[in-house]
A and B are shown apart, each in its own frame.
Chain A
C-alpha cells in the first residue's frame, strides 16, 4: 500500500477513537468488483 494512506489512516483512527469508533481498512486496488466484495461484509 502507498505509505500516504497509512498516514491518513493513522490520523483518521486517532480522531474516531476519541468518540469510541474504530477504523477498519481494506484495499480494493482500484478494482470495483473487489470493492463490492470487500464492502459486502459490512
Chain B
C-alpha cells in the first residue's frame, strides 16, 4: 500500500521546500509501471504537494494513487481532494505536556522521566479508498 523513498539529507531539504512530492512521483513513474496504490506522507502539507503532483501528471486521486497524511489539520476537509489523515491528537499532546510541566514545577523532588502514548486514529476522506 505504501511507496517508500530513500531519505537522505538532500531529500529532507526538498521536503522543507515542498519539492519532494515531485521527486517521488518522478521516480515512481520513470520507465516503470506504478507498482503501488498509495502514498503515505508524514504530514498533511506534504500530502497536498503529492496530490498536486499526481493531478498535474494527469492521474486521479484516489483511483490511480491514494494519498494519506498525518496531523488531521482543520482544512483537510476543504481541499480539492479532501484528505484522509492520521489524527495524532496534536492538541491533546500539548495538554498532556502542559500538565507534565506543571507537575515538574510543583514537585518537591524531581519526578522520574516517563513516556505517555496517545492513541492515534485514521480519519478517512476522499483521498483514499477501500480496496476490493
A: residues with CB less than 8 A from B are 2-4, 7-16, 19, 21
Pair B94/A7 contact, Cβ less than 8 Å = yes
Nearest Cβ distance between residue A9 and chain B, in whole angstroms? Answer: 6
**Given A3-B73, A8-B94, 15 extra CB contacts under 8 A:** A3-B43, A3-B44, A4-B71, A7-B90, A7-B94, A8-B90, A11-B91, A11-B94, A11-B95, A11-B97, A12-B95, A12-B101, A14-B94, A16-B98, A16-B101
Pair B102/A10 contact, Cβ less than 8 Å = no
Q: Is B92 an interface residue (CB 8 A)?
A: yes
Q: Is B114 an interface residue (CB 8 A)?
A: no
Residues of B near A13 (CB, < 8 A) are 94, 98
Pair B43/A4 contact, Cβ less than 8 Å = yes
Q: Is B45 an interface residue (CB 8 A)?
A: yes
> How many B residues face the partner with a CB closer than 8 A?
19
Interchain CA distance A36-B95 in the complex, whole Å: 26
B: residues with CB less than 8 A from A are 43-45, 71, 73, 88, 90-99, 101-102, 105
Closest to B93 in A: A8
A-B contact pairs, 15 of them (CB 8 A): A2-B43, A2-B45, A3-B44, A4-B71, A8-B90, A8-B91, A10-B91, A10-B94, A11-B90, A11-B91, A13-B94, A15-B94, A15-B102, A21-B102, A21-B105
Residue among A4, A10, A13 facing the most chain B CB atoms (10 A cut-off) = A4
